[in-house]
């Protein structure tokens, strides 16, 4: 889906400089966070170029996320990292100190 959006962006404005995300269009995001960042960059570019995100596009994006578990994987990685470095404990300790 992201590749299709990037191609659509280029077709709409082929003389513009390519968006940095287009350099990655042939690569797969190995980390959930990379996929989320790439998707955010695409959406930001579309909005910046006054493209309207239709309800259908958002529904398809949500379905893609649910079928590939991108958000769930990212949340799990963050929770795992937080547990490993004790981020949550440090955060709560800082809040209690204030």
* pLDDT, tens only, 35-86: 777 778 887 887 777 766 677 777 888 898 889 888 888 888 888 888 888 8
pLDDT at residue 24 greater than cutoff 50? no
Torsion of CA 64, 65, 66, 70, to 10 degrees: 140
User: Could you tell me the residue range of the domain that residue 73 belongs to?
Assistant: 2-97
Count of domains for the chain: 1
pTM value > 0.85: no
Residues 6+ apart with CB under 8 A from 42: 2, 5, 6, 9, 19, 21
Cα separation, 43 vs 53, in Å, equals 8
């Amino acid at each position: 889906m992201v590749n299709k959006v990037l191609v659509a962006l280029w077709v709409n404005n082929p003389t513009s400089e390519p968006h940095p995300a287009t350099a990655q269009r042939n690569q797969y995001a190995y980390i959930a966070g990379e996929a989320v960042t790439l998707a955010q960059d695409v959406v930001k570019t579309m909005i910046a170029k006054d493209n309207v995100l239709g309800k259908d596009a958002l529904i398809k994006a949500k379905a893609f996320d649910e079928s590939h578990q991108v958000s769930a994987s990212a949340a799990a990685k963050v929770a795992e990292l937080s547990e490993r470095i004790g981020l949550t404990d440090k955060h709560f300790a800082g809040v209690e100190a204030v």
